[in-house]
């Protein structure tokens, strides 16, 4: 029930030094990041720290990853701003209350999914959809920080052209000191990332920016007074109307946050050769979000940059995350007065440098080369997110990917098979040496056979048969058919009966066990069965007395040495 207990039972003292160093290093990065992401979510900076102590400790107790650093992230912060911003003004007490309730809803959903072993649901978020959504969200996040980088009040909108136009219109109101601090912080963060990647660049930017504001007496927007002390646990006030309004965004965050987290966790688990349990991850993340709601935070998940720092700093077990949580808690209790002079422009620079790396142009080039239908899904999600909003954008992407899956499954790949001079059965469209046999039509259907594609198979067979004179047999290679429903079973029987009435024999070759079970349970079928396509052809040859050569090799037999076939 609690993986950390087993970790501590077998803990090696030699790992303590590494875990301690990693825990402190990650905390140094987490503190400024958490404050910046809270600001992105439209919340006071202190709420980011509330969401970084107890949630991280709870995940360390219940999660299955040794390295995952849980806390506020840019994507979830943007989703919070999008969902809660429709219900209350950003930063207002009502807004904060809704964000806390949202964390509780996300926690309940993820915990329920974990208990019900519903981790498979994340598979509905295809990689092109996530990539398109992430790239669009990165642009929206970046443009949302212009108000803090320029020192002018700009409207919050997912329409980046509107934000850019408002910024241009307010050009004469730009605060030069704010711009210099923001640009200088951005340049510092990028330079440290390139030449000194091991230095906690976010902390350096925070310290330098705060000292500059204090030492030079700059009058720019800062974090200001941050209430100190550890938050007192309290249940958020639940209003049924608010829960109903927040439920769609809670479902979106629960799925998106889980996918981001599980992707990061698996990447580092592969590197260190241990397993990640998707359902255990849901339980851990659900508990973390419930803890965040209980202690005044907002929705959290695992972040890639912090997890990478945690791993690079030498984390060996999840004890490193517990140490990080303790350091964040100590910061809440003792160090919050140091944030008074922290410029919001520095936090905006931290956000922008983090999220612009999420714009995945390499994936666009990759999909253009290998799968343009997936590229279309990516672009659809990208432009839907930019034009319609965060929730509708990702819902559009998921809906389009599911629709495309249905379309592809109803129109599966069907290959016409011929014989090569070497006696191998190959797809005639891919192997120019393959020739069809006179009077025999051999086809292979590469999909499960179900009610959605029965008409497509019947129409395809009818069209192919019409083009071939003297047809006396149809051989259906069923090697790629993994499943057969009652509609498909009835279709096969209808085809067999129709062919027999026309003097054509139907032979089913290489039928898999589960498919054969359905056919046997449903009763007699007029079709014949063969262990292989070669056996079916040989049987036809013997029956008609016409020799078609020695075709004893099966479709599954390997090609000659050095040959390459894509069947």
Token output for 332: 């809440």
- N- to C-terminal Cα separation, the chain: 48
- Please state, in angstroms and rounded to a whole number, the distance separating the CA atoms of residues 327 and 324: 5
User: What torsion do the CA atoms of 176, 177, 182, 188 make, to the nearest 10 degrees?
Assistant: 120
**C-alpha–C-alpha distance, residues 41 and 83, integer Å:** 10
Half-sphere CA count of 363, side-chain side, radius 13 A? 20
Please give the full DSSP string across 268-323, using - where no structure is assigned: HHHHHT----HHHHHHHHHHHHHHHHHTT----EE-HHHHHHHHHTT--STHHHHH
Q: For Cα atoms 93, 389, 132, give the angle at the middle one, nearest 5 degrees.
A: 125
Nearest partner of 300 among 50, 31, 46, 567, judged by Cα: 50
Give strand ranges (E) for 451-491.
Answer: 473-477
Nearest in space to 318 (alpha carbons), one of 5, 1, 84: 5
**Furthest C-alpha separation in the chain:** 102
Do β-strands 414-419 and 505-509 pair in parallel, antiparallel, or remain unpaired? unpaired
Q: Measured between alpha carbons, how far is 82 from 392 in angstroms, rounded to an integer?
A: 11
CB atoms within 10 A of CB 553: 17
The CATH code for residues 414-544 is: 3.30.750.24
pLDDT for 555: 39
Q: pLDDT at position 562, please?
A: 41
**pLDDT (0 to 100) of residue 227:** 84
Q: Tokens standing for 151?
A: 């020192």
As averages over each run of 10 residues, the pLDDT of the chain (567 residues) reads 73 83 84 89 92 94 89 89 89 93 96 87 76 83 86 81 87 91 92 83 87 91 85 84 90 88 80 82 95 95 81 81 93 89 88 77 90 92 86 84 89 92 90 90 93 93 88 92 92 90 91 91 81 89 57 40 42
pTM of the model: 0.74
Per domain, the residue ranges of the chain are 16-402, 414-544
Q: Which pLDDT score is estimated for 12?
A: 81
């Amino acid at each position: 029930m609690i993986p950390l207990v087993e970790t501590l039972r077998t803990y090696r003292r030699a790992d303590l030094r590494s875990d301690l160093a990693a825990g402190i290093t990650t905390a140094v990065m987490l503190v400024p990041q958490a404050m910046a992401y809270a600001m992105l979510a439209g919340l006071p900076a202190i709420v980011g720290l509330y969401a970084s102590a107890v949630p991280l400790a709870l995940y360390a107790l219940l999660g299955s990853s040794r390295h995952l650093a849980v806390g506020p992230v840019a994507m979830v912060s943007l989703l919070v701003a999008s969902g809660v911003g429709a219900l209350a003004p950003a930063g207002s007490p009502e807004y904060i209350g809704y964000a806390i309730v949202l964390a509780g809803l996300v926690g309940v959903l993820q915990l329920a999914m974990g208990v019900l072993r519903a981790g498979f649901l994340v598979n509905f978020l295809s990689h092109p959809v996530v990539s398109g959504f992430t790239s669009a969200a990165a642009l929206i996040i970046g443009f949302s920080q212009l108000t803090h980088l320029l020192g002018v009040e700009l409207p919050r909108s997912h329409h980046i052209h509107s934000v850019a136009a408002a910024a241009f219109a307010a050009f004469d109101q730009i605060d030069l000191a704010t711009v210099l601090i923001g640009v200088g912080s951005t340049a510092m963060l990028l330079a440290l990332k390139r030449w000194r990647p091991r230095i906690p660049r976010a902390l350096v930017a925070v310290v330098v920016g705060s000292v500059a504001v204090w030492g030079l007496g700059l009058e720019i927007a800062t974090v200001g007074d941050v209430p100190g002390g550890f938050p007192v646990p309290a249940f958020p006030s639940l209003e049924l109307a608010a829960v109903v309004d927040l439920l769609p965004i809670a479902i979106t965050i629960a799925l998106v946050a889980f996918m981001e987290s599980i992707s990061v966790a698996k990447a580092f688990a592969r590197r260190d050769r241990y397993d990640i349990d998707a359902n255990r991850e849901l339980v851990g993340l659900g508990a973390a979000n419930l803890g965040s709601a209980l202690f005044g935070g907002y929705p959290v998940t695992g972040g890639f940059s912090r997890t990478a720092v945690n791993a690079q700093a030498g984390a060996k077990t999840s004890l490193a995350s517990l140490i990080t949580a303790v350091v964040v808690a100590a910061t809440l209790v003792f160090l919050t007065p140091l944030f008074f002079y922290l410029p919001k422009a520095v936090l905006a620079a931290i956000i922008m440098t983090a999220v612009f790396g999420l714009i995945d142009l390499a994936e666009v080039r990759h999909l253009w080369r290998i799968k343009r239908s997936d590229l279309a899904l990516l672009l659809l999600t990208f432009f839907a997110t930019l034009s319609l909003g965060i929730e509708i954008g990702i819902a559009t992407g998921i809906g389009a990917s599911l629709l495309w899956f249905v379309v592809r499954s109803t129109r599966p790949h069907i290959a016409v098979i011929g014989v090569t001079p070497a006696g191998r059965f190959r797809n005639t469209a891919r192997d120019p040496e393959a020739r069809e046999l006179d009077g025999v039509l051999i086809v292979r259907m590469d999909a499960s056979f179900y009610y959605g594609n029965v008409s497509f198979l019947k129409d395809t067979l009818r069209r192919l048969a019409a083009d071939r004179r003297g047809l006396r047999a149809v051989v259906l290679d069923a090697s790629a058919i993994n499943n057969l429903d009652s509609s498909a079973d009835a279709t096969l029987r209808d085809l067999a009966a129709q062919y027999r009435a026309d003097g054509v024999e139907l032979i089913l070759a290489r039928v898999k066990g589960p498919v054969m079970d359905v056919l046997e349970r449903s009763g007699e079928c007029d079709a014949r069965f063969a262990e292989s396509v070669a056996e079916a052809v040989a049987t036809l040859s013997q029956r008609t007395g016409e020799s078609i050569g020695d075709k004893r090799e099966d479709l599954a037999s390997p090609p000659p040495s050095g040959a390459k076939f894509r069947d």
